[in-house]
Amino acid sequence: MDLKGRDFLTLKDFTPEEITYLLDLSADLKAKKKQGVPVDQFHGKNVALIFEKTSTRTRCAFEVAAQDLGMGSTYLDPTGSQIGKKESIADTARVLSRMYDGIEYRGFGQDIVEELAQYSDVPVWNGLTNEYHPTQMLADLLTIREHFGHLKGIKLVYMGDARYNMGNSLMIACSKMGMHFVACTTKEYFPNAELVAQCEEYAKETGATITLTEDAMAGTKDADVVYTDVWVSMGEPDEVWEQRIKELSPYKVTKAIMENAGEKAIFLHCLPAFHDLKTKIGKEMGERFNITDMEVTDEVFESEQSKVFDEAENRMHTIKAVMAATLGWK
Ligand code: CP
Ligand code: NVA
């Protein structure tokens, strides 16, 4: 499989075989990391990491993965560059392509990362936009495959705001890989109809199914994977919190939801998560809205069923695979 020179902007652009290849490469790179086998094939190469929004996992995964592959990296933080303020995306792409071998971009609209890719001569990797989070998908698929041994036929239920990057991307990933995707939330938070129709087309090829439901119990019945994300994403205004809490509370992942899911069900979350608003993180939010948790209870988050830290670790192995494959892994 040759993915050299390809951009990685959304899984829509990748076939099930290419996604499987990236997962296999991730598993291989993970095994090599655990065994201490070096993979530094890319000495002399450098990557630029643009972050217009904050990050822990994605930034660290790109930096560690680049270093393991033998490459240098430059982190451009949300305030420390000319991008989007004094310099256009097109000019930025043409400048960075002259110095770097690959560019990661985390920011706002998908159109921005697409423009970056259009004007760049080197691969561009989407580290999260409002619409998609494709590197997260590879980590999620790898974690599910490690746990269940396969992807086809797995029922994944996404609870919460399914119109945004995580809901959209999970629906694409599941439909590409022959999984059963359920968006479980109120109608207002269902993914947009055009994307659902596009995913229905992928599903026809793979045997996947897509279900949108407002019924939390029917939706999560016998699920293999229960997945959620924050109710308010980066870049959204502070004013939406109150309404989100009111509207999405019926879709909080609780012990009752996990008991309703399959016997061997696991819980996943891309993180960061609001699961314990009694402690310092989120305490202010907890007091403001008189709540102790948000999208998932602390009980579920800390339970045996929760695989969120395996998932977080897999960000690094999968991002390493994306960079290696698109830069010409041998
Ligand atoms: N899941 C994820 O993208 O985490 P960060 O925002 O910390 O990168
Ligand atoms: N939906 C979240 C995902 C964070 C990884 C956000 O965009 O903030």
Specify the CATH superfamily of domain 154-222+224-263+265-303.
Aspartate/ornithine carbamoyltransferase (3.40.50.1370)
Ligand 1 pocket, mutate which of 129, 228, 271 (most atoms under 8 A from CB): 271
Cis-peptide into 191, omega within 30 deg: no
User: What CA–CA distance (Å, rounded) separates 56 from 60?
Assistant: 6
- pTM for the structure as a whole: 0.98
For 21, the token pair is 């290849």
Give tens-digit pLDDT for 32-52. Answer: 999 999 999 999 999 999 999
ipTM: 0.99
Q: What is the pLDDT of residue 84?
A: 79
SS3 126: strand
Give tens-digit pLDDT for 109-138. Answer: 999 999 999 999 999 999 999 999 999 999
User: What CA–CA distance (Å, rounded) separates 140 from 227?
Assistant: 10
Catalytic residue chosen out of the listed positions 59, 275, 315, 317: 315
Cβ of 99: how many Cβ atoms within 10 Å?
A: 11
SS3 87: strand
Q: Where are the domains of the chain?
A: 9-131+314-325, 154-222+224-263+265-303
Q: Which residue is associated with the tokens 């043409």? A: 94
- Are both 9-131+314-325 and 154-222+224-263+265-303 of the same fold? yes
Cβ of 147: how many Cβ atoms within 10 Å?
A: 17
Q: Is the CB of 144 under 6 A from ligand 1?
A: no
The DSSP secondary-structure symbol of 306 reads B
- Element housing 295 (H / E): none
For residue 54, which atom of ligand 1 is closest to its CA?
6
> pLDDT of the chain along its 330 residues, tens only?
999 999 999 999 999 999 999 999 999 999 999 999 999 999 999 999 999 999 999 999 999 999 999 999 999 998 878 887 889 999 999 999 999 999 999 999 999 999 999 999 999 999 999 999 999 999 999 999 999 999 999 999 999 999 999 999 999 999 999 999 999 999 999 999 999 999 999 999 999 999 999 999 999 999 999 999 999 999 999 999 999 999 999 999 999 999 999 999 999 999 999 999 998 888 998 999 999 999 999 999 999 999 999 999 999 999 999 999 999 999
Q: Is the CB of 322 under 6 A from ligand 2?
A: no
Q: Are 125 and 326 in contact (CB under 8 A)?
A: yes
CATH 3.40.50.1370 given to domain 9-131+314-325 = yes
Handedness of CA 173, 177, 183, 187 (dihedral sign): positive
